[in-house]
Each structure stands twice: as C-alpha cells, then as structure tokens.
Chain A
Amino acid sequence: MKLGFIGLGVMGRPMARRLLEAGYEVSVWARRPESATPLLAAGAILRANPAEVARCSDVVFTIVTHGHDVETVVFGEQGLSTGFAAGSILVDMSTIAPALACDIASRLATQGVHLLDAPVSGGGVGAEAGTLAIMVGGDAAVLERVHPVFAVLGKTLVHIGGSGTGQVAKACNQMIMVAAIQAAAEAMRLAAAAGVDPAKVQQALLGGSAGSRVLEVFGSRMVARDFKAGVEARLHHKDFGLLLNAARGMGVTLPVVASVGQQLNALMANGWGGCDTAALLQVLEIGGRS
C-alpha cells in the first residue's frame, strides 16, 4: 500500500516518520518545502503538489490546522481531488467541524473517493510514540483497509460511526480536556492564594478521586510554571470556536464549556496563544488577590 502525507507540523512530522520506519512508501508535500526536509532523509518522496501525492498514493493522510486548510489541500488548484483515482482513500486527521467533514466526504464520494475523518488525541508525545487515540468516522470497510496503518500511529482506535462522527468525538474530547485544565488551574490558584504549596496539593490529589491525566500533565506544568507549548493554546481556542458553534446549531446548552471558552478568549487577548493551555492559570491570576 502506497501512502501520501500532507501537513508536516508538530503532529504530522513524527506520524509520517513512523510510517516510513514501518516500511511504507510515503509521498509528501508541504507548503514550505523545508518542513519536508527531515523526512526526505528518512526516505520520503517529495511531490510537486497535492494532486501528485494523490496520483502516487492509495491512501493519503492530511493533518493541518483549519477547516479551510483541508478544503484548499483537497479541492484547491492542484488539490488532492484532481489527482485521486476512484477507490482512493483520504484520511483527514485534522480537527475540523463535523459538518465540514460530512461535506467533504459527500463531495469526494461523487468521484468515488472515500473519506475517513480520523482526528487524534495525545499530542506531539503521542505522535512520536505511536500511542495516539484515534477516533474514526466513515465506512467500516474502508477503515478495515486502513487499519494496519492506523496501528502504526496509535494505540486506541475506535470506529465511532459514519462521516463526521470522528470529529464529534474529538469535540467531546476537547471539551472534557480543556474544562479539566481549567479545573486544575482553578485548584492551583486556590491553593496558592491560601498560601499552600500547589505542588503538594497536586501530589495529594493525584492519589484520589480528582486524579486525572490532565491534573498530572498540565498540573505539573502549572506547578513548574512551565508554559512552553506542549499543545499551543490557540489550537484549543480554535476548537472551542468550532464546538460552541456546533452546539448552537443543534440547540444544545453547554454552560461550563462556554465559560471555559471565555477564559480562552482572555488567554488569547493577553498574547498567550502560543503558550501551553496550562497558561489558563495566568488568566486566573489577572483578576483577584495577587
């Protein structure tokens, strides 16, 4: 099976590398050719544009930032869709709106191309280690064909349902994760304001019912006041825009998530979009007792 890979950022680069190491032939393309360089040394083949990648691949993976980036890569000039043969598979691992994923799937279906929406959770660390959680929307038979490739990238693979459902699961993931980061930040804030060592509090909580992966990973960053990006907060801000908009469209009320979304707006306003989302702690420190 020949693979294509587009989107060689913090997530995409280690994922593509794992595919090469597993012995697949991987065609790549990047808007900035220099981001492909490290992969070429590992054996990737650089193509002139997305259409070329599609022509040379049975399955193409994309992982880019915004919905409109996916649309451009797929349907733009020299886009993937102009190079796809009928029966090809596109696996989009970006986080985009569920409605857009459905729309792209139906547009590709008219030329006999299958889309799996397969967003991931686990960050750069999970991408390096091949331990991502992958949530897939699309046809089960198509997923069956791609399954061995997914096994190289992730540890948990769940077929959620039809097109767009992978993105719904990802939205749910982001809601819980960022709300938990906010909860951890508020706990750390309360501890510090009360004159208690936040590190001790975190340590104590990790052993009890409040223990969580977020409290462990993001809580530690808060304790160390290390706000260098793990996950850039601007990406969570983007995701919250998408999911709150989807909730509005469905007439669903998400009061806590909406409130966390406002904390993310404040984070952006302070120029911390490039920091880790643990910087939500700094938003809490703007107001109230210092």
Chain B
Amino acid sequence: MKIGFLGLGIMGRPMALNLLKGGHQVVVWARRAESMTPLADAGATVAADPADVARQVEVVISMVADAPDVAQVMLGERGAAAGAQSGLVAVDMSTIAPSAAKDIAAKMKAQGIEFVDAPVSGGEVGAIAGTLSIMAGGTEAAFAKARPAFECMGKNIVHVGDSGAGQVAKACNQIVTGMGVMAVAEAMCFASKAGADPARVREALLGGFAYSKILENHGQRMLDRNFKPGFKSWMHQKDLNIVMQSAHELGLMLPGSAMTAQMFNAMVGSGLGEEDSIAVLKLLENLSGQQ
C-alpha cells in the first residue's frame, strides 16, 4: 500500500521506518528537511508538503506535537486535505484532546475524507520495536483500510469506537499511568522513610494485587535512580492537561487526576520537565525532606 507519513520526530521516525520494513511504499514530509534524510536513505519518497504527500497515497498518517499541528498538516494551506485523492483515509497518531479530534474529523468529512484518531502507548521503545498499543476511533471501513499500516507499527490494536474514541482511550491510559507512577513513587518514599528497604518492598508487592507493569518497570528505575526518559514529564503534564480540560468541559469529577496533574505542574516548574515521569519520586522526597 502507498502510505504517507507527516512528522518524523522521536516517535514518527521509527514508525515510518517500520512501514518501510513492512514492504509498504512510504512518502514522507517533515517541517525540518533534515529529519527526512534517514527515511529517504531507507527508501522513502520525500514530498514538498502534506498536500503533495496526500496526492500520492491511499493512507496518510500524522505524528506531531499537538492539536494545532494536526489541524495544520491536515487542514491548513497545503495540508493533506488539499491534495487528497478520492478515498483517502487520514490517520492521526498524535495525542490530542478528544474534542479536537472530533472537530478535525468533522472538517475532513466535509471534504469527503475519512479521519481516524489512533494515538499510541509504548513510547520510543515500542515505536522502534513495532510493539505499540494503538487505540483507534473512526468508522469500521476507515479502520480496516488503515489496519495493515497499524500492524507494522503496533501489537495491541483496538478499534475503540467512533471519532474521538481513540483519544478518549489514550486519555484514560494517561490517567492510569499518571496515577500509577504517583502511587509507586509514594510507596517507595513511604518505605524508605519508615525504615524498610524499598527494593524488598517492591519485590514483595510484585507477587500480590499491587502488581503492575509500572511497579515492575518504573519501580525498578526509581530504585536505580535512573531518571532518563522514557516518557518526559512535560509530555505527561501535557497529556494530563488534556484529561483535566476534558473533565472541565464534561462536568466530570476526577480528584486523583487533578492532584496528579498538580504534581506534574510542580515537576515542570522545578526543572524536572525533561526527565522521565518517575522523577516525581524526587519531588516527593524534596517535599518530605528526604534528600
């Protein structure tokens, strides 16, 4: 299949490379020309702008920073919509607000283009390994058309529902992981201040109902004091902001998420934004005078 890819950052580059490895013809575009070089070297076609990409493909995928960027590459001047062939399916794999995804989907539909929101979980490691979790929102037909592309990039691929449903699932993912990291960090702080070895505590907990991937992976990195990202704190803050803004719009009470979002504000404000989200451990230690 001919697939377009817009946005070749930390996530986008390995995802596009996996499409090439999967035997697809890939046309790429990125704002900075130099980010396209590794893809061109691997056999991708370089295009002049998103419209030029869309002109040449059946499915076009974007992986960019935030909702205004998605709107720009899809609907802006020389955006994908401007070059779309009949039957084009547009897929956005960025993490943006569900309401923004729905809005973009409606505008694309008005131009006869199917839009799928398909954010991912699994980070850079998952993007390189092609083992991302992909949660999609859109019509059955559009999802089916994009599926071969998803299969090159991810392992756990779920069609969650209509437009916006993928982003809702991603927001839920960030609620669970955000509070999960907080919970593990608080347990680690509690253990050490109360005089128990946090490593032993973690080991004991892994066998019981407190087991989670976060306790296992993030917990180990906390013990190793390895704060290299991973998933940067400022990005988790951005995602939690999507959660809190949506809760505000919906009239939804999320006390735990609200508290977690405040902790991430404090992390970014105190210069921990570029570190992994497990650096919330350092913030908790500072607050309790544990350094």
Interface positions of A (Cβ within 8 A of B): 237, 240-241, 244-245, 247-248, 250-255, 258-259, 261-263, 265-266, 268-269
Asked if residues B269 and A251 are in contact (CB atoms below 8 Å), the reply is yes
Partner of B237, one of A237, A248, A262, A266: A248
Asked if residues A253 and B252 are in contact (CB atoms below 8 Å), the reply is no
Partner of A258, one of B250, B252, B261, B273: B261
Contacts of A240 in B (CB 8 A): 248
Asked if residues A261 and B266 are in contact (CB atoms below 8 Å), the reply is no
Contacts of B248 in A (CB 8 A): 237, 240-241, 261, 265
Partner of A265, one of B254, B261, B268, B269: B254
Cβ distance B223 to chain A, nearest Cβ, rounded Å: 25
B241 at the interface (CB under 8 A from A): yes
Chain B binding site: helix, strand, loop or mixed by DSSP? Answer: helix
Asked if residues A269 and B244 are in contact (CB atoms below 8 Å), the reply is no
Query: For the complex, what is the distance from the CA of A263 to the CA of B247, rounded to whole Å?
Result: 11
**Please, could you name 30 A-B residue pairs with CB atoms under 8 Å apart, sorted by A?**
A240-B248, A241-B245, A241-B248, A244-B244, A247-B265, A251-B267, A251-B268, A251-B269, A252-B265, A252-B266, A252-B269, A253-B262, A253-B265, A253-B266, A253-B269, A254-B265, A255-B262, A258-B258, A258-B262, A259-B255, A261-B248, A261-B258, A265-B247, A265-B248, A265-B252, A265-B253, A266-B251, A268-B251, A269-B250, A269-B251
Contacts of B253 in A (CB 8 A): 262-263, 265-266, 269
Query: Interface 1/0s, chain B 255-291, versus A by CB < 8 A?
Result: 1001101110111111001000000000000000000
Cβ distance B198 to chain A, nearest Cβ, rounded Å: 24
Query: Interface 1/0s, chain B 12-30, versus A by CB < 8 A?
Result: 0000000000000000000
B contact residues, total (Cβ < 8 Å): 24
Contacts of B245 in A (CB 8 A): 241, 245
Interface positions of B (Cβ within 8 A of A): 237, 241, 244-245, 247-248, 250-255, 258-259, 261-263, 265-270, 273
Cβ distance B222 to chain A, nearest Cβ, rounded Å: 20
Contacts of A255 in B (CB 8 A): 259, 262
Cβ distance A259 to chain B, nearest Cβ, rounded Å: 6
Contacts of A237 in B (CB 8 A): 248
Cβ distance B243 to chain A, nearest Cβ, rounded Å: 12
Query: For the complex, what is the distance from the CA of A175 to the CA of B270, rounded to whole Å?
Result: 22
Cβ distance A252 to chain B, nearest Cβ, rounded Å: 6
Contacts of B270 in A (CB 8 A): 251
